[in-house]
Structure 1
């Protein structure tokens, strides 16, 4: 039985029950207030010996009319219920059609259910929002797959070209060839590891532990200090204990990526990187900002996309693989946090990571 038929029978059944109760109430009223028998009276107002059975007559009159009313209510309930059920289920039909189209692979359509905001309207709006997110996610994944294929093909193509040259030119310097192949292979390995890390963070396949972001910041700054000194960049760290819950390895990777990105996207000389941690009422905050070229809001909005690069890096020996901020974004989302990129008026960018706060003394 379809839902429409079930609703129709429910409406008709309810109407029949209500009619039966109403007729029963009328009959009870008649039985209570109408005497069973009455004396027959002559036209001259004198009683006779005859007795008239009033209830029996009422029953003969009431029963067929009650049956007619019940038959009318049954027909009216079936027809009216069928029409009302169809009107009530019309939005559900539109939602079902949209679901079938989405199952077939179409994500660009929307229900856009008109009318007042009721349960069906809320369901349709939620479904439209889900379709929009799925469409954006699929488009992002398609761009990511295309970019990843391109990025992985580049070192392989370079390696092939170097090997072809070595084959055709046996007198070529073998040491130079080995060095170039080593550099290309290292880049391919770094890219593959970054892709694996991105996948791991996306799947949230990690154990959550208590983490102090201030320690992560200090460790990342200490690790990258030689790189910063080599290029004349000063790293400043500050902040109190900043507890949160997450993967220590992933959060350290997040902090390291942010600090590394701040170093390689900096001024040619006398640049600075500031790493600050703090605690807000409901979040643990990590802020990394740097000096550098001016960044427009439009450019800042695209920097977390995979393989998107901002201004040209001044240090080509640390060009990275174009996944630094994409990994940061994915790790942040995997920890139920938010990532905000804000251009600095004087140049450079401020990157803020907010993660759920927790007490450092909370039991695991």
Structure 2
């Protein structure tokens, strides 16, 4: 039985029950004041006479209520379930791959309207996510194809020219292979962060900042970049490995995308009500807000930024954004007026660890 038929029968059954109770109440009330015997033919009606008159009328009334309840219930149930039919049709269309369709249910705010709006919002998020995944897959395929095609070309040249210097060939193949490995590892890390398969523990962001700075200090020295760190103890709950990767990526990007000489990087941690904040900013070329907002997209590299041989694989900030969202935080990118960029990561704060 369909829901509409069930509702129709429910309406009709309730109406029949109400009618039967009403007739029973009328019957009992009248019988109290009606004599059973002793009435003359021209006097008041006896109970037996009243039963013969009342019963057919009551039966006719109940039949009318039944028909009225079935017809009215069918119409009312159809009107009540019409929004659900639209939602069902939209679900079928989404199942067939049409994610662009929206219900946009009109009318007052009720449970059906709330359900339809939530379904539309889900479709919008799903459509955006699938589009992002398709772009990511296309970009990843392109990025992986480049080092493989380069390796093939180098090997073809070596095979056609046996007298070529093998040392130079090996160096170039090593560099291309290292880039392919870096890209693969970055993709695996991004996939792990997106799955949210992390072990959470107490983490101090200030310690992550210090460790990342110490690790990347030789790179900063080679690029002539000075790093200044400071701030407060910033306790949060999350994956120590992922948060260290987040901090390392931010500092690494700040170093390699900097001025050609005498560049600066500032790494700071602070505490706000309910949150802890990691801020990394650097000097560099001036960026527009529009360009800054696209830098977290996978394989997106700002054309106005200074490129070096350490330009990475284009996933640094994409990984940062994914790790931030995995830890229920927010990531903000803002160009500095003097050049460069300020990147802020805000995460939920944790109470100081009882063990120390």
* Comparing 349-358 and 195-204, the one that deviates more: 349-358
Q: How far apart are 1:245 and its partner, in Å? A: 1.0
Confirm or deny: 8 A CA contact 2:235 2:352 kept in the other structure: yes
TM-score of the superposition, structure 1-length normalised?
A: 0.93
- Gap change, CA 1:70 and 1:160, over 3 Å in 2: same
Which residue number corresponds to residue 242 of structure 1? 234
Mapped to 2, the partners of 1:66 and 1:92 lie a distance apart of 38
Q: How far apart are 1:115 and its partner, in Å? A: 1.0
Q: Which runs of 5+ in 2 are unaligned?
A: none
Of 208, 219, 227, the residue aligned with 1:216 is 208
Confirm or deny: 8 A CA contact 2:20 2:62 kept in the other structure: yes
Confirm or deny: 8 A CA contact 1:37 1:53 kept in the other structure: no
Mapped to 2, the partners of 1:311 and 1:153 lie a distance apart of 22
Cα deviation per residue 1:140-179 (whole Å; 9 max; x = unaligned)?
1111011000000000111111111111111111111111
Point out the structure with max Rg over C-alpha: 1
Structure 1 vs Structure 2 CA RMSD: 1.8
* Residues 1:331 and 2:323 are matched in the alignment: yes
* Comparing 289-298 and 305-314, the one that deviates more: 305-314
Mapped to 1, the partners of 2:284 and 2:153 lie a distance apart of 36
Alignment of 1:31-180 (within 5 A): 31-36=31-36, 40=40, 54-180=46-172
Cα deviation per residue 1:112-165 (whole Å; 9 max; x = unaligned)?
111111111111111111111111111111110110000000001111111111
TM-score of the superposition, structure 2-length normalised?
A: 0.95
* Residues 1:253 and 2:245 are matched in the alignment: yes
Confirm or deny: 8 A CA contact 1:220 1:255 kept in the other structure: yes
Determine helix, strand or coil for the equivalent of 2:309. Answer: helix
Which residue number corresponds to residue 14 of structure 2? 14
Of 287, 295, 308, the residue aligned with 2:287 is 295
Cα deviation per residue 1:45-104 (whole Å; 9 max; x = unaligned)?
xxxxxx855333322222111111111110000000001111111111111111111111
Confirm or deny: 8 A CA contact 2:39 2:46 kept in the other structure: no
Q: How far apart are 1:251 and its partner, in Å? A: 0.5
Mapped to 1, the partners of 2:189 and 2:20 lie a distance apart of 70
Question: How many residues were matched structurally?
Answer: 355
Q: How far apart are 1:260 and its partner, in Å? A: 0.7
Cα deviation per residue 1:230-267 (whole Å; 9 max; x = unaligned)?
22222111221111111111100000001111111112
